[in-house]
């Protein structure tokens, strides 16, 4: 004879199942419920099936194996019920704040931007209208970013000339120039009008409208730390530089007159006979800026594409060298051409002078001093050194990403 439970026992079991709490851990973007293991699972053999919750816990983003963008909005949703608990934490255990909808079925994070490379863990409980609950959990990771670093010229606490641009170089091309430029600032005492201008894919300069006033104190900031640039990029760190504008020195060179005039504070201090580039090696007209100074330097013609063995080839130890262009124009001592200085142009493009005049000029000049050349049809270009001053103010302003 087969035993069957009485109708009274079945009624008692049914009442226990309704009051129990059903829990499950559903995958991302899905939710599920499992039967209670005890005591209902023990009664399954007698034909009593545990009820499951009608609610499901869903997560957005939903795929725990995928990485997500920093601008992703975190959400937890109770489908077919309401949320009773929500916990979203960063990898260090910090809670992520959020808000629950009036119906209690959607939780939305208050975090507008997620840190690159961060891992989040989310857990939540939902209950259906019958009071049966279900759990869900997931983890997800924000994608890693390419770090964009900045370096600033001039160097910290340096004293530079009135023609010195502020130069910010990046280790990688920023995908969003406007956001990077907005993170850059220049403050000066006295206040000076100027503008940023991009001179390459990885380089932006700040140039005053006119030469800096002597004695100006300048602070430059690149506030890139945690800056979301776009296209998998983020700023690496904040960089700050302080520098001062020194005495107002302007050097003027007449290529056709073969003379250099040295001005300080607007007054002519000295005129120096020079020689510049000969035919085929003409010196450029335009405004150049002293980029660096070297007491001695080996100059080799192979670095300016003059092959060894050529009648124009040279390798010389040069004294009092001051670089003006990337292409190899310098101010320097040229004792071998003293006979031509003040009368003819015989160099390979540099501006040569006697040893004593070069020593005098080297001692009184500094990085950032402008050197204005006239008398040649060969022009100075923007990127061949610090060529910023060869653009009009209007043209310079158009190089800003903010335009």
274-324 per-position pLDDT tens digit:
999 999 999 999 999 999 999 999 888 777 777 777 777 878 899 999 999
Domain ranges in the chain with CATH number 2.60.40.3780: 17-142
Q: Please, which pLDDT band fits residue 8 given cuts at 50, 70 and 90?
A: very low
Q: What is the pLDDT of residue 50?
A: 55
Spatial distance between the Cα atoms of 16 and 9, rounded to a whole number of angstroms? 11
Q: Would you tell me which CATH number, out of the four given (2.60.40.3710, 1.20.1250.20, 1.10.10.10, 3.30.2020.30), belongs to the domain 146-246?
A: 2.60.40.3710
Residue 4 scores a pLDDT above 70: no
What's the residue count for the chain? 403
Residue 346 is given by DSSP the state -
Spatial distance between the Cα atoms of 178 and 262, rounded to a whole number of angstroms? 40
Give the global pTM: 0.71
350 is catalytic: yes
Q: What's the CATH fold of domain 249-390?
A: L,D-transpeptidase catalytic domain-like (2.40.440)
pLDDT digits (tens, 9 = 90+) for 248-265: 999 999 999 999 999 999
Least confident of 94-108, 111-125, 208-222, 265-279: 111-125
* Residues whose CB falls within 8 Å of the CB of residue 161, separated by 6 or more in sequence, listed in order: 245, 246, 249, 289, 290, 365, 366, 367, 368, 369, 370
Q: Please, which pLDDT band fits residue 234 given cuts at 50, 70 and 90?
A: confident
Q: What is the pLDDT of residue 38?
A: 31
* Residues whose CB falls within 8 Å of the CB of residue 371, separated by 6 or more in sequence, listed in order: 251, 252, 253, 287, 288, 289, 290, 324, 331
Q: Please, which pLDDT band fits residue 177 given cuts at 50, 70 and 90?
A: very high
Q: Please, which pLDDT band fits residue 62 given cuts at 50, 70 and 90?
A: confident
Q: State mean pLDDT over 204-213.
A: 98
Please state which architecture CATH assigns to domain 17-142.
Sandwich (2.60)
Q: Among the options 205, 258, 348, 350, which is catalytic? A: 350
Q: Among the options 205, 258, 332, 348, which is catalytic? A: 332
Q: What is the pLDDT of residue 216?
A: 98
Residue 74 scores a pLDDT above 50: yes
Grouping H, G, I as helix, E, B as strand and the rest as coil, residue 361 is helix
- Cα distances (Å, whole numbers) of residue 18 to 15, 22, 359: 5, 9, 98
Residue 18 scores a pLDDT above 60: no
């Amino acid at each position: 004879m087969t035993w069957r439970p009485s109708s009274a026992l079945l009624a008692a079991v049914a009442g226990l199942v309704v009051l129990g709490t059903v829990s499950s851990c559903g995958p991302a973007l899905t939710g599920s419920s499992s039967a209670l293991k005890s005591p209902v699972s023990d009664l399954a053999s007698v034909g009593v099936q545990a009820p499951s919750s009608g609610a499901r816990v869903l997560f957005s983003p939903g795929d725990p194996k995928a990485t997500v963008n920093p601008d992703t909005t975190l959400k937890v949703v109770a489908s077919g019920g309401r949320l009773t608990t929500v916990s979203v934490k960063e990898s260090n255990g910090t809670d992520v704040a959020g808000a629950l909808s009036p119906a209690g079925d959607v939780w939305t994070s208050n975090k507008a931007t997620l840190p690159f490379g961060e891992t989040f863990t989310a857990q939540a409980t939902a209950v259906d209208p019958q009071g049966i609950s279900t759990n869900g959990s997931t983890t997800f990771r924000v994608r890693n970013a390419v770090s964009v670093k900045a370096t600033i010229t001039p160097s910290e606490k340096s004293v530079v000339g009135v023609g010195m641009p502020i130069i910010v170089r990046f280790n990688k091309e920023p995908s969003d120039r406007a956001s990077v430029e907005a993170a850059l600032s220049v403050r000066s005492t006295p206040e000076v009008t100027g503008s940023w201008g991009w001179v390459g894919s990885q380089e932006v300069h700040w140039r005053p409208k006119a030469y800096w006033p002597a004695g100006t104190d300048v602070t430059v900031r690149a506030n890139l730390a945690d800056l979301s640039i776009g296209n998998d990029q983020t700023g690496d760190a904040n960089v700050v530089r302080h520098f001062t504008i020194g005495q107002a020195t302007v050097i003027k060179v007449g290529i056709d007159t073969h003379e250099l005039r040295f001005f300080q504070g607007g007054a002519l201090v000295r005129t120096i006979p020079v020689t510049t580039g000969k035919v085929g090696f003409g010196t450029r007209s335009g405004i150049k800026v002293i980029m660096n100074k070297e007491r001695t330097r080996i100059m080799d013609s192979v670095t300016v594409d003059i092959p060894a063995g050529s009648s124009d080839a040279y390798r010389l130890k040069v004294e009092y060298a001051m670089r003006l262009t990337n292409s190899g124009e310098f101010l320097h001592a040229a004792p071998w051409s003293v006979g031509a200085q003040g009368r003819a142009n015989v160099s390979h493009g540099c501006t040569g002078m006697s040893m004593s005049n070069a020593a005098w000029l080297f001692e009184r000049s500094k990085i950032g001093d402008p050197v204005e050349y006239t008398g040649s049809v060969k022009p100075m270009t923007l990127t061949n050194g610090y060529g910023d001053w060869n653009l009009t103010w209007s043209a310079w302003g158009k190089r800003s990403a903010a335009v």
